[in-house]
A and B are shown apart, each in its own frame.
Chain A
Amino acid sequence: MDERRVKSIGTETLEDLAVGATVLGTGGGGDPYLGKLMARQAIEQHGPVRLVGPEELPTDGLVLPVAMMGAPTVLVEKIPNGAELEKVVRAVENRLGRDAAALMSVEAGGINSTIPIVAAAELGLPLLDADGMGRAFPEIPQCSMSVRGVSATPMALADEKGNLGLIETVDNDWTERLSRTATVAMGGSSIIALYPMSVEEAAGAVIPETMSRAVDIGGTIRAARMQGEDALEALLDLASGRLLFRGKVVDVLRRTVEGFARGTARIEGLGDDAGSSLELEFQNEHLVALRDGEPVASVPDLITVLDADARTPVTTEGIVYGQRVEVVGLPCAPIWREPEALKVVGPGYFGYPFGYSPLEEVRT
């Protein structure tokens, strides 16, 4: 795409972005609804946010990703103040002695697609059209910047009460460990700024154009639904995706293990898939889809569930018995298919005994 189609994010673009972010959230990532409301309030107050490519920024400019960290059940109750965002950005800027040229999203899936928009609107900074996952993952090191050797620190984290921490660690696993502990002490959620990098560094380490991709996905679904067209086909076309299964949810098992929402949904086939069943296993996000016991898609590829009637993406908490669903696979960003990356995001990392096969190569 030579011409950037989405140049700014206003209140209308935000609606599409939230739907697209739910698709890219692959069932998890936190509900973008709260983030959308926060971003809307910020945009109404400060105006739309400019979306830029790295070529529009000075090569030595500072790119600073911001995000929310913590338990979704805390977020829905204790909403941020909004000022934490400026605080963490300023803290990292002060530590490095330079101002940010642009902010960025760590994950394009779920609530963290919208949090940087709040910060960018408040601070009058552009947003880099990129992220570090192209989807959602639960941990800080599961990020393309980490794979490319960018340090997550200096990282700042803050709560709404005014507490601020600056963390510098020996590696990104330590960043995860220390910031997770601090987040629990802060009441279960925090706002973070991390992975500071130059524009030049970012160009080789981020997953490009994922914010406009989320907007495109949301916009495509909305347009198809408004025109009475097949939103599924439109989504598959746009995202080079593949329909994995069509069926009815017949069983949902959920349990909370070590702070993660784990579970399995069993779907019985309808139409062309009648006679087969699909098991969808999740840990915050969908991890693997097993058709009659055989994997047909797995992390890091994206597995998204759509409500077959409304053609809206469904989160793991939203899956209920009886629902007619379509399970869709979307290929992950190329970086995740590198052997080093698969060590932190592949099926083996999540405890599965099988290796990763790219979505396009699985025969069904």
Chain B
Amino acid sequence: MRLGIDVGGTNTDAVILDEDDRLLAKDKTPDTDDVITGIERVVSEVVRDAGVDPGQITHAMLGTTQVTNAIIERRGLARVGILRLGAPATKAIRPLAAWPEDLRAGVEGPSEILPGGVEYDGRPISPFDEAAVRRAVRKMRGGVEAFAVSSVFSPVKSDDERRTAEIIAEEAGEETAVSISSEIGSIGLLERENATVLNAAVTPVARRVVGAFQGALERLGIDAQLFLSQNDGTLMALDYALRYPILTIACGPTNSIRGAAFLSGMGDAIVVDVGGTSTDVGVLGAGFPRESAVAVEIGGVQTNFRMPDLFSVGLGGGSVVRPDGGAPGRTVRIGPDSVGYAITEEALCFGGATLTMTDVAVAQGMADVGDPRRVNAARETVEAAYERGVAMFEEAVDRMKTSAEEVPVIAVGGGSILLPEKIPGVSRVQKPEHYEVANAVGAAIAQVSGTIDRVFSLVERSRDEVMEEARNTAFDEAVRAGAEPDSLEVVEVEEVPLAYLPGNAVRIKVKAAGRLRSY
């Protein structure tokens, strides 16, 4: 039996699924400041509702915003020693050059730009200087809690980064957190380095989250295999999560999209996740979220590691509706502020004094919550708000479409009562059962994956043969990580031709994912 937990911006949700992926119980509770109390509360409720013995839970998956929040709120971050390899190149821009001052103050440790790195074709820029790296690590080790290592064109060749990580382990101890850029981002030195430094900086947060998660489940008598959700819809074992905590960022929307796919049985659609304050629109392709192709900003820092492609608008169930200057009652402004979790006190339909989008839905007969008679706003205002809301959904969906053809929409999240049955450009709007806990379902059904990233020569073998070998290796890795062999699928392929190596060499990265076995 599997337990899926999602810590979102407003609520902590949990679900229990049985061996056949049937949902046995679902619960929601407002987030608590320490997060873990909320998790303990909702998990004990859902276990009780399902009527199962905690000992029957074999796997527990947690999707959490804590790492994201630590960066946004600049809380509990590690001071990071930064080593960049590429000198004499790159000295014209120091590490962290474009970071917001407050984040930089909390994270920046000493940094050095040392020889190493390669040209675009793999030739060395300057010989890697092992002694210089060792000296730098010794100088830094007393004052930092983690290290970040980047080198020029490391997506093409990462030898220097890997050797540096070994030296750090030798000089600063095996347990010292080291993040290397080739494992985190793609081409674009500054953005990749930024993501690597952020990853190193959130290591203590990840350690705390993992420790608290283990402790909470232990207290509840749950002895399960534990996982954290990552932002590509697959799971990380806890030791992996401790090395790449940055990969948990944006796992919430990913879980919603995956949960929507599972609950609706659809593989290709636009997913509209309506929360209390905002709506995230993502794209489901072959059961997985589409990834963003452009630089992603996290806490004011530009990064280039993978993230689900999302378009967000400030429209949710708690969004406040106000008249907007023009003809009385005819034009309105929606949000961006929201009454949030206080909706059951502040919304008109619950006896409050604030006109919210939930009231609009209730007055339009789209939702059956609270008391429609209490929504005493002018009819024109309600209608104008309804039309404006539909237009906002329409535009958000339209932005994420890749062609002008009509597409199906899956509506999930607690606020999806706002979505009308018909939206221009949309073939149909489907609201699956359990839509309000799609994110926790997404965590529970997340897959395990295996990855191979290796250089192959195409001299004596065809590209097909090489791809076949790469695929099989990735499958083996996924099975080792706990995947059911029959359910495996390739979810990501990346090919980088390496002009610098003789023999038509190519770097191939394949990621395979499948269902968890043995429950």
The verdict on A169 contacting chain B, using a C-beta distance below 8 Å, is: no
With the chains together, A22 CA to B120 CA distance in Å? Answer: 26
Closest to B151 in A: A77
Instruction: Give every chain A residue within 8 A of B121 (Cβ-Cβ).
Output: 187
Asked, given contacts A76-B187, A78-B125, whether A321 binds B401 with beta carbons under 8 Å apart, the answer is yes
Given A38-B93, A73-B120, check contact A78 B401 (CB 8 Å).
no
Within 8 Å of chain A (Cβ to Cβ): is B462? no
- Asked whether A41 and B94 contact (CB < 8 A) given A76-B189, A187-B123, the answer is yes
Which residues of B lie under 8 Å from residue A34 when comparing CB positions?
93, 190
User: B92 touches which one: A41, A73, A77 (CB < 8 A)?
Assistant: A41
A161 near B125 with CB under 8 A, answer yes
Q: Mark A73-116, 1 if CB is under 8 A from B, else 0.
A: 11011111111000000000000000000000000000000000
The reply to whether B189 and A79 contact each other, CB–CB distance below 8 Å, is: yes
Q: Which of B82-129 contact A (CB under 8 A)?
A: 86-94, 97-98, 117, 119-121, 123, 125-126
B404 within 8 A of A: yes
Shortest distance between the CB of A289 and any CB in chain B (Å): 21
From A79, which residue of chain B is reached at the shortest CB distance? B90
Residues of chain B within 8 A of A77, CB atoms compared = 120, 152-153, 187-189
For the complex, is A286 an interface residue (Cβ under 8 Å from B)? no
What is the minimal beta-carbon distance from B497 to any residue of chain A, in angstroms? 13
B92 proximity list for chain A (CB < 8 A): 38, 41-42, 79-82, 118
Name B385-429 residues within 8 Å CB distance of A.
Answer: 398-404
Contact B98 A37 (CB under 8 A): yes
* CA distance in complex: A71, B121 (Å): 13
In the assembled complex, B342 has its CB within 8 A of some CB on chain A: no
CB-based contact B153/A78 at 8 Å: yes
* Among A76, A82, A161, A323, contact of B188 (Cβ-Cβ < 8 Å): A76
Q: Is the interface of A mostly helix, strand, loop or mixed?
A: loop
Q: Is the CB of B152 within 8 A of A81?
A: no
Residues of B within 8 A of A250 (CB): 403-404
Which residue of the partner chain A has the closest CB to B113? A81
Q: List the B side residues contacting A135 at CB < 8 Å.
A: none
Residue on A with the closest CB to B395? A324
With both beta carbons as reference points, the residue of chain B lying nearest to A71 in the complex is identified as B120
Is A322 among interface residues, defined by CB-CB distance under 8 A? yes
A160 within 8 A of B: yes
List CB contacts (< 8 Å) of B179-231 with chain A. 187-190
Pairwise interchain contact B90-A188, C-beta atoms closer than 8 A:
no
- Whole-angstrom CA separation of A250 from B97 in the bound complex: 36
> Are A161 and B88 in contact, CB atoms less than 8 angstroms apart?
yes
Determine if A320 is an interface residue (Cβ-Cβ < 8 Å).
yes
A77 to B190, CA, bound (A): 8
* Contacts A79-B189, A81-B90 given; does A187 touch B119 at CB 8 Å: yes
By Cβ-Cβ distance, the 3 closest A-B pairs, closest first, are A82-B92, A322-B399, A187-B119
Interface residues of A (CB under 8 A from B): 34, 37-38, 40-42, 71, 73-74, 76-83, 118, 160-162, 187-188, 248, 250, 268, 318, 320-323
B interface residue numbers (CB < 8 A to A): 86-94, 97-98, 117, 119-121, 123, 125-126, 152-153, 187-190, 293-294, 398-404
16 cross-chain CB contacts under 8 A: A34-B93, A74-B120, A77-B120, A77-B153, A78-B89, A78-B152, A79-B190, A80-B91, A80-B92, A81-B87, A160-B91, A161-B126, A250-B403, A321-B401, A321-B403, A322-B398
